[in-house]
Amino acid sequence: MSNGSLYTHIENNIATIEFGHSASNSFPSELLNRLVISLNELSINNNVHIIVLKSEGEKAFCAGASFDELVSISNYEEGKQFFLGFANVINAMRSCSKLIIGRVQGKTVGGGVGLAAACDYCFATEQASIKLSEFTIGIGPFVIAPVVERKIGLAAFSELTMDATSWQSAYWAKEKGLFAKVFDSIKEMDFEVGILATKLSKYNPEALTEMKKELWKGTENWQSHLSKKAEISGKLVLSEFTKSALKKFKK
């Protein structure tokens, strides 16, 4: 489907959100909006104690925001709204009352890195290399900067941003704090995801919610903060440099 898919399954107090898109699990705006709605609904669902976030297939985890939508931006308002997509998801993950476990099975780029960083605990496989390639098309990872820098630190975020054409390995990401554990295979990872999710689902849900608040202390202004970051990218995407770069990339 052109707008991708998103399914939520709840069992034994564990909610699993699975998203997918034929273009390497990238996110068109509609799919990002659906993810925000799902997270907000789970946040107030008393039958849910823990959330697992995953993507479809065995290849890419997430290729970021939809490239087709990016190249179609024609004015500032469209640009701002486009970049607000991941800002809204990050804020929904941040403000969600449930702890979120990330399951990263493959490569992830741009907004996908932000998605992984917004998880409270993240598992990955050896195939889960990461890259922030925004500079190559004339913009920058401004919207996801606060959440990625919060997780891996300024030095590592700077390295990812400036070396925009290079992939960093899953073990590099683990060393910097993005991933908690890295596994040889998806099977091994899924086994461990299941164990941790089950353990957490049996703990006092009130204690889990209070810990969620503790982990995100100091981010209370992110609703407006990330909106301002989206404005920066919304302007840059209209620059002649970016328009030219996008045309070359599309060809």
Does the predicted model carry a pTM greater than 0.85? Answer: yes
In a domain, 97, yes or no: yes
In a domain, 41, yes or no: yes
In a domain, 241, yes or no: no
In a domain, 37, yes or no: yes
Q: Of 119-123, 155-159, 208-212, 238-242, where does mean pLDDT reach its minimum?
A: 238-242
Q: Which helix (H) or strand (E) holds 150?
A: helix 145-152
In a domain, 152, yes or no: yes
**Could you tell me the two tokens for 103?**
């399951």
The CA distances from residue 18 to 52, 193, 194, in Å, are: 8, 14, 15
Strands (E), 64-204: 99-104, 108-109, 121-125, 130-131, 181-183
pLDDT tens profile 125-168: 999 999 999 999 999 999 999 999 999 999 999 999 999 999 99
Whether residue 225 is predicted with pLDDT greater than 90 in this model: the reply is: yes
The CA distances from residue 153 to 4, 173, 247, in Å, are: 32, 11, 33
Q: Percent of the chain beyond pLDDT 70?
A: 99
In a domain, 38, yes or no: yes
Give just the sign of the alpha carbon dihedral 148, 151, 155, 160.
negative
Instruction: State the helix-helix crossing angle for 145-152 and 111-118, rounded to 10 degrees.
Output: 50
In a domain, 61, yes or no: yes
Q: Give pLDDT, residue 1.
A: 53
Range of the domain at 177: 5-201
pLDDT tens profile 61-113: 999 999 889 989 999 999 999 999 999 999 999 999 999 999 999 999 999 99
DSSP 62: B
User: Look-up: residue for tokens 């991708």?
Assistant: 4
Q: Give pLDDT, residue 185.
A: 97
In a domain, 43, yes or no: yes
CATH code of the domain in which 16 resides: 3.90.226.10
Whether residue 247 is predicted with pLDDT greater than 90 in this model: the reply is: no
Residue 131 backbone dihedrals phi, psi, to 5 degrees? -155, 140
Are the C-beta atoms of residues 80 and 234 closer than 8 Å to each other?
yes
Q: For the chain, what is the domain count? A: 1
